[in-house]
Chains A and B, each alone.
Chain A
Amino acid sequence: MSEQFVLETRNLVKEFKGFVAVDDVNLKIHQGHIHALIGPNGAGKTTVFNLLTKFLSPTRGQILYQGEDITSLKSAAIARKGIVRSFQISAVFPHMTALENIRVALQTAEGTSFSFWKSGNSLHKLNQRCMELLDSVGLTEFANTTTVELAYGRKRALELATTLAMEPTMLLLDEPTQGMGSEDVDQVVELVRKAAEGRTVLMVEHNLSVVSKLCDRITVLAQGAVLTEGDYQTVSADPRVREVYMGSADSGERGGSSPAPQAEAAQ
């Protein structure tokens, strides 16, 4: 096969007591694609994310990254390989400033993170790069604001900038537009599009209009198993998908504004 898969899972299975959350999932993610993982609540999307980043250990199966088996690596090691994830609930460091949030990510590459004897001033040289990243998500003026005081949409933007600071080759975004108003959603779509340049993105997303705008390929999960895969046209025309995921005809409109509880079975 000539095509290059960045991330691949082979027969991935996660069982909780008496319950199969992820059932024999084979994902193949193409280099440079924005790949969506969709499915109804409880389909196992977040569990797949947790398996890929080793926040959970798979019961069986393999995870390959650029052809290399990373099934046994720990979360932090996977992040250092360039697979960086975001979380459903915005993951920021609430009592640090926006700039400090990003600096903590940049710090990983510095190799001084155990240097407890070093002055904090040794980190100031990273500030310029922090400001560039803040600027890229429109947060320049909030550099010195404590993150807890930022509006929700800005927190998510900051989270994305922090993720990008890691210069990941692969982004895993867990519902980047969750809980946002429609204006913020458009903004996030633009941010993700920009962030995806030169990268591969795997995203869980409920908002189908976002998926249709952004994604090159879509995998539909239902009850832990892959139901179908393809581009938006193929997937949205599939009657089985309509049945399990979209339900009736009101499909594409709901998405981001619906406050559907995100109680994934895995949690």
Chain B
Amino acid sequence: MSQSFDSSNVRKAILDQQKSQDRRKMLLNGVLLLLLLAAPFAMYPVFLMKILCFALFAVAFNLLFGFTGLLSFGHAAFLASGGYTTGYLLSNYSGLTTEMGIIAGTLVATLLGLAFALLSIRRQGIYFAMVTLALAQLVYFFFVQSAFTGGEDGMHGIPRGHLFGLIDLSDNMNMYYFVLTVFIACYLLVQRIVSSPYGQVLKAIKQNEPRAVSLGYNVDRYKTLAFVISAALAGLAGSMKSVVFQLASLNDAHWHMSGEVILMTLVGGMGTLLGPVIGATFVVNIEYQLSQGPLRDWVDPILGGIFVLTVLAFRSGIVGEIQKFMRKNLG
């Protein structure tokens, strides 16, 4: 077994391939970054921020769904709990700077995520989805009944405040670059997680859970951590969203929202890094365009149709299909 052999060629080939892939990715990411930096000069910043918040939400969801293989049907609970917490704190404690409110919102979503995970993680497949849905409905009714959320009316007039007490976020440009910075940091974090040693284990669990167990991995713990990170990032998305719109509403807690994030992820391409970002951009745009025109009552059926089409014909989503095409035609 310990005989020496020449594996250097194989390893060199592996490294070379990785390098050229990395270079292509770097180039793509660079172009996207430039676009995002320039975007608010061409488009309405609040609309762009909406896209970024939903993109972060979808990226968070995809960490669990696309990279761990767990379909949560309760992610709206994290988006909403982040949003309400941040909204409540910033509205009632004027001494708080904006980032502290956002951190607090993220923390609440993280703890809620841990509670969800402990109750659901041992269930498989559809049962897992149902348990997360049921828990999210509990959270929804809690928000409906609580006075601090404003119930059906929602929470209005959340002050954007000053970032670090210095930068005035009521200026849309300042707000945009703050949201963009947070988004990019989270995106890079997820990228790092996916390629980390931990990410390798997640991949293994997703592809063959019994085998991962037989290799000595306590899969429940790995899944729990993935769930908690995902919930935290979803909460962060909700927190930022409430600051951007100065509004937190029951919409964010409704199971529709849990469904919508699944749609975004699938349309964009689950299990790819960029997929959920593209998916969120796509869905938010379609919703906006349709709501402006004569088809405004048809938003849901049209989105439903897109969903069906994706599942039937473009399983890998926009980014996934492009990747397949590139692999086939460009080697």
Contact = CB atoms under 8 A, between A and B. Distances in A.
A116 B208 contact: no
A50 to B, nearest CB: 10
Contact of A140 (B7, B193, B217, B225): B7
Contact of B215 (A55, A84, A115): A84
Interface of B: 1-3, 5, 7, 10-11, 13-14, 17, 192-193, 195-201, 203-204, 207-208, 210-219, 221-222, 225, 229
A114 interface: yes
B11 A131 contact: yes
A94 interface: yes
A27 B292 CA distance: 74
B10 A131 contact: yes
A43 interface: no
A76 B193 contact: no
B214 A100 contact: no
Interface residues of A, number: 49
Contacts of A79: 213-216
B209 to A, nearest CB: 10
Nearest to B13: A144
B133 to A, nearest CB: 27
Nearest to B229: A116
Contacts of A114: 198, 221-222, 225
A144 B7 contact: no
Contacts of A136: 1
Closest 8 CB pairs of A and B: A79-B216, A120-B195, A116-B198, A91-B211, A131-B7, A80-B216, A93-B207, A76-B218
A116 B17 CA distance: 24
Nearest to A74: B218
Interface stretch (A102-110, A222-230, A241-249): A102-110
A75 B209 CA distance: 12
A95 B208 CA distance: 10
Given A76-B219, A144-B13, A91 B196 contact: no
Contacts of A17: none
B201 A127 contact: no
A202 interface: no
23 contacts: A76-B213, A84-B216, A91-B211, A93-B211, A96-B203, A104-B204, A107-B201, A108-B216, A113-B198, A113-B222, A115-B196, A116-B199, A120-B199, A131-B5, A131-B10, A132-B1, A132-B2, A136-B1, A143-B14, A144-B10, A144-B14, A162-B215, A166-B215
